[in-house]
A and B are shown apart, each in its own frame.
Chain A
Amino acid sequence: MINFNEVSKVYTRGARPALDEVTVAIERGDFVFLVGASGSGKSTFLKLVLREERPTSGRIHVAGRDLGRLASWRVPLLRREIGAVFQDFRLLPNKNVFQNVAFALQVIGKNRRYIDSSVPEILDLVGLGGKEKRLPHELSGGEQQRVAIARAFVNRPPILLCDEPTGNLDPGTSVGIMKLLDRINRTGTTVLMATHDDLIVDQMRKRVIELREGRVVRDQLQGVYGLEPA
């Protein structure tokens, strides 16, 4: 689903590369934690998958597309296959829950009938049924993140990228979010989650890819956050 083949990314010439010869294969239906300290290259990895950045060298395949040969007008089509969830939720404050999720469908040209049927369905899935009319500021942090996940997943993308989705949440709420991501993963969706949250990684026992200074130092099935104290 996501293939990196000796991918390097150098932002400023001469500086240490943000990613250094990274080779990773993530299969359809995988649940993968991307861990590592700040500056280890996690964000760069996610940006390369979304094609917000382009690699300095190496090849990247995402959802069957060779990103090096992807025409820029087709980038939106790539992004429709990837849902993205962020630490800061990125909800529109003046739109209610339903409108926030519907927005993602409106702007890729879905019709009203489709929106009216799929938005309530996804809100039920994330556990927000009955809260369609609430505005983001009327929700708890965990609920806001559920809205963001609903928005990312409403179009049923085969890949879900999560950048520190529990970074702003307390541990109890985080567990709920992780259960939700696990449920989404069980529908066959590939989930790639960058995180600092060692408790969660240790609990979930999923595949762990650890980056350090832009290199993959560990790629372990059913791993934990850190083998050695960080």
Chain B
Amino acid sequence: MRLRFIITEVFQGLRRNTTMAFSVIIVTLVSLAFVGAAALLQTQVGKLKDDWYDKVEVSIFLCPNVSVFAQCKAGPVTDAQQEEIIRVLETGALGDIVEQVYPESKEEAWENLLKRDPDGFFAQQLTADDMQPSLRVKLKDPEQFALVADAVGELDGVEHVFDQREVFDTLFQILNRATLLAAALAVVMLLAAMLLITTTIRLSALSRRRETTIMRMVGSSKTLIQLPFMLEGVIAATTGAVLSIIGLWLTVRYLVQDWLVTSNLNWVDYIDQGDVLAVAPWLILIALGLSAVSSLVTLGRYTSA
């Protein structure tokens, strides 16, 4: 009886307040879409890091025959200097960080260049002697780059140390800023959603003041009086959350999986629908929390004595 009573009350309330219910749905839809987008962007950043940081190396360029760098004034790197650098990398404190060191001689660098672009400008104009020997260092954790740079940067025979991650940093910065923007918009929209839910519940409570007064008078429990209003907010907000999940799912399905993955940018690992489903429960939780907080701040005032 009570359950049926609550359900009828909720749907009567939603019907009476259709426009408000729709606006709550739309605002939560938009705000949670931003929350979800921020989360998915971060997931994408994570995937890219996992993917690329496995492949990146630190390159220690050694002094070539001719160099503009001051630390190479003494001339090209000697074998003894190179061995000393490798020793530093493979033993002591760095030994734990460095996974492997691949020396690349001038000749190897030349061959690699020829392989990459045999008819290009550099292959035509340069010889093996113009190339620069280097050490390719693979780190167990690419984030530890600074330690390597500090330890070997000043050694004799080192020209400069280059972290390949720098190449991706701009991209990550763009993605991180996009995340921040989405999160900021989400916060503003969530605030709007909360105010809107508060207003909706208040209007609903005021329009049914006659009923709630009688309910209080005849000794209905507080829960039974307030629950229908809370549920109205919860249903509207959750509907918005579900719609935002559907929207994100469709975006990932058609924009990312169908378009980006088949485009010429297909060499990176993209987020898929599974990632949307991983975010989904959180979006629903936010919607529930939002409506719960709104109800709490409103109902005490409008349905009690």
Contact assessment for A104 and B222 in the assembled complex, using a CB-CB cutoff below 8 Å:
no
CB neighbours of B214 from chain A (8 A): 90, 92, 103-104, 107, 151
| Residues of B207-241 whose CB lies within 8 A of A | 210-211, 213-222, 224-225
Give B137-168 as 1s and 0s: 1 = Cβ < 8 Å from A's Cβ atoms: 00000000000000000000000000000000
CB < 8 Å: which of B213, B218, B222 contacts A108? B218
Among B1, B213, B215, find the residue whose CB has the most chain A CB atoms closer than 10 A. Answer: B1
Select from chain B the residue with minimum beta-carbon distance to A53: B305
Contact assessment for A80 and B222 in the assembled complex, using a CB-CB cutoff below 8 Å:
no
Q: Give the total of A residues in contact with B, Cβ under 8 Å.
A: 26
A79 in contact (CB, < 8 A): yes
B2 in contact (CB, < 8 A): yes
A153 to chain B, nearest CB (A): 11
B residues apposed to A, CB below 8 Å: 1-2, 5, 210-211, 213-222, 224-225, 305
Contact assessment for B224 and A107 in the assembled complex, using a CB-CB cutoff below 8 Å:
yes
Select from chain B the residue with minimum beta-carbon distance to A82: B219
CB neighbours of B5 from chain A (8 A): 106-107
Contact assessment for A80 and B2 in the assembled complex, using a CB-CB cutoff below 8 Å:
no
Q: Provide 13 A-B residue pairs closer than 8 Å at the C-beta atoms, listed in order of the A residue.
A: A80-B219, A81-B219, A90-B213, A92-B211, A104-B218, A106-B1, A107-B214, A107-B225, A108-B220, A108-B221, A110-B1, A112-B1, A151-B218
B173 to chain A, nearest CB (A): 55
Contact assessment for A92 and B218 in the assembled complex, using a CB-CB cutoff below 8 Å:
no
A110-B224 Cα distance, complex, nearest whole Å: 13
A128 in contact (CB, < 8 A): no
**Contact A92-B210, Cβ < 8 Å, known A109-B2, A110-B1, A111-B1:** yes
CB < 8 Å: which of A78, A90, A111, A151 contacts B219? A78
Contact assessment for B215 and A107 in the assembled complex, using a CB-CB cutoff below 8 Å:
yes
CB < 8 Å: which of B222, B224, B225, B305 contacts A52? B305
- Known: A73-B221, A90-B210, A106-B5; 12 extra A-B contacts, CB below 8 A, are A50-B217, A52-B305, A79-B216, A79-B218, A90-B214, A103-B211, A104-B218, A106-B1, A107-B220, A112-B1, A151-B218, A152-B218
CB neighbours of B213 from chain A (8 A): 90
**Contact A80-B218, Cβ < 8 Å, known A106-B1, A111-B1:** yes
- SS class, residues of chain B in contact with chain A: helix
| Residues of A64-84 whose CB lies within 8 A of B | 73, 76-84
B112 to chain A, nearest CB (A): 79
Give A108-134 as 1s and 0s: 1 = Cβ < 8 Å from B's Cβ atoms: 111110000000000000000000000
9 nearest A-B pairs in the assembled complex, by CB-CB distance = A79-B219, A80-B219, A107-B220, A76-B219, A104-B218, A107-B215, A52-B305, A76-B221, A109-B2
B71 to chain A, nearest CB (A): 79
CB neighbours of B210 from chain A (8 A): 90, 92
A151-B219 Cα distance, complex, nearest whole Å: 12
A107-B215 Cα distance, complex, nearest whole Å: 6
A190 in contact (CB, < 8 A): no
CB neighbours of A84 from chain B (8 A): 217
**Contact A109-B219, Cβ < 8 Å, known A90-B213, A92-B210:** no
A104-B217 Cα distance, complex, nearest whole Å: 9
CB < 8 Å: which of A52, A107, A111, A112 contacts B218? A107
B210 to chain A, nearest CB (A): 6
CB neighbours of A80 from chain B (8 A): 218-219
CB neighbours of B221 from chain A (8 A): 73, 76, 108
Give A24-58 as 1s and 0s: 1 = Cβ < 8 Å from B's Cβ atoms: 00000000000000000000000000101000000
Contact assessment for A76 and B222 in the assembled complex, using a CB-CB cutoff below 8 Å:
yes
CB neighbours of A81 from chain B (8 A): 219
B303 to chain A, nearest CB (A): 13
